[in-house]
């Protein structure tokens, strides 16, 4: 069974960047196969990984609802959707990727999540790691994809407000009685020691911090992928030092 690593945290904290760096590290250390899932309806994980957008689950659902006759006779619609979604997985150099997108047409957004969950349950046997980049906020936490994370990586800035928001994520997970095995806190863009009391209050296991890295910001402005970042870039080095705890398999 694969290890599911899911990102969480408030807007702009660095979830997508860190998900992409985790994927790069897993690929380069050759510790196992990896499926990247972009579960943010405003997808951009693919772009940060240097890829062109392919078909996503939202597009597939729109297509089938506009052309119901595409479902072969004798095949249940759900089976057909599942088959289509599996064939939308893009095979890249060293990792695969699937994007959730959002349907344009009428219909419940949670349906996309249900489809993703169904496919994920099957795919978890085919990969050593599944890395899920989520949208900001708390809403996705009640969805079933985050519910089964082995490791939830909560990304925060070092401010009191930021850490309070990380604490709320933890409280919600406890309330919802999720089966998340490890809830890890990663403080991003910070070079100093964070106040230990504030860290403890979050209720999350503090993993460490990643520095502000001007090289990362520059790449992002230029629209270049994380694969252009040198191995010696401060954020890359720091992540690799903490990495073991993120991708270690229990």
Ligand X SMILES: Nc1ncnc2c1ncn2[C@@H]1O[C@H](COP(=O)(O)OP(=O)(O)OP(=O)(O)O)[C@@H](O)[C@H]1O
Which parts of this chain interact with ligand X (CB under 6 A)?
9, 11-17, 40, 136, 188-189, 210, 212-213, 216-217, 220, 235
CB of 15 to Mg ion, least distance (A): 5
Site membership for Mg ion, residue 99 (CB under 5 A)? no
157 interacts with, out of ligand X, Mg ion, none, CB within 5 to 8 A per kind: none
The contacts of residue 78 (CB under 8 Å, 6+ apart) are: 118
Q: Which of residues 7 and 61 has its CB atom nearest to Mg ion in the complex?
A: 7
CB of 52 to Mg ion, least distance (A): 18
56 interacts with, out of ligand X, Mg ion, none, CB within 5 to 8 A per kind: none
What is the rounded CA–CA span in Å between residue 229 and residue 108? 39
What is the rounded CA–CA span in Å between residue 42 and residue 135? 8
| Binding segment toward Mg ion, per CB under 5 A, in 14-22, 25-33, 159-167, 188-196 | 14-22
Phi, psi torsion values for 125, nearest 5 degrees: -80, -20
CB of 105 to ligand X, least distance (A): 24
- Residue spans of beta strands (DSSP E) within the chain: 3-9, 34-39, 90-91, 96-99, 129-134, 151-156, 182-188, 205-210
Inter-residue contact 81 to 115 (CB < 8 Å): yes
**In the stretch 16-55, what mask flags binding to Mg ion with x, by CB under 5 A?**
x---------------------------------------
CB of 40 to Mg ion, least distance (A): 5
CB of 220 to ligand X, least distance (A): 3
Q: Which of residues 10 and 151 has its CB atom nearest to Mg ion in the complex?
A: 10
Phi, psi torsion values for 54, nearest 5 degrees: -110, -160
Handedness of CA 150, 127, 53, 100 (dihedral sign): negative
∠ Cα 5 233 161 (to 5°): 55
Binding site for Mg ion (CB under 5 A): 15-16
């Amino acid at each position: 069974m694969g290890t599911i690593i899911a990102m969480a945290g408030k807007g702009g904290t660095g979830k997508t960047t860190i998900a992409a760096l985790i994927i790069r590290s897993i690929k380069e250390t050759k510790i196992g196969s990896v499926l990247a899932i972009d579960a943010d309806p405003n997808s951009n994980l693919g772009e940060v990984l240097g890829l062109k957008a392919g078909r996503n689950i939202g597009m597939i659902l729109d297509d089938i609802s506009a052309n119901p006759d595409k479902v072969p006779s004798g095949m249940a619609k759900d089976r057909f959707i599942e088959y289509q979604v599996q064939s939308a997985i893009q095979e890249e150099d060293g990792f695969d990727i699937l994007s959730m997108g959002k349907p344009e047409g009428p219909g419940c957004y949670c349906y996309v999540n249900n489809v993703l969950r169904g496919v994920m349950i099957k795919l978890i046997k085919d990969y050593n790691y599944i890395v899920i980049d989520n949208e900001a906020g708390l809403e996705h936490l009640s969805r079933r994809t985050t519910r089964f994370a082995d490791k939830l990586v909560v990304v925060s800035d070092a401010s009191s407000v930021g850490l309070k928001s990380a604490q709320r994520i933890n409280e919600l997970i406890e309330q919802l009685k999720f089966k998340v095995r490890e809830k890890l806190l990663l403080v991003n863009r910070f070079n100093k020691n964070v106040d230990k009391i504030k860290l403890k209050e979050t209720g999350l296991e503090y993993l460490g911090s990643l520095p502000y890295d001007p090289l990362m910001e520059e790449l992002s402005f230029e629209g270049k992928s994380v694969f252009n970042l040198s191995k010696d870039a401060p954020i890359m080095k720091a992540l690799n030092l903490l990495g073991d705890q993120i991708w270690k398999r229990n």
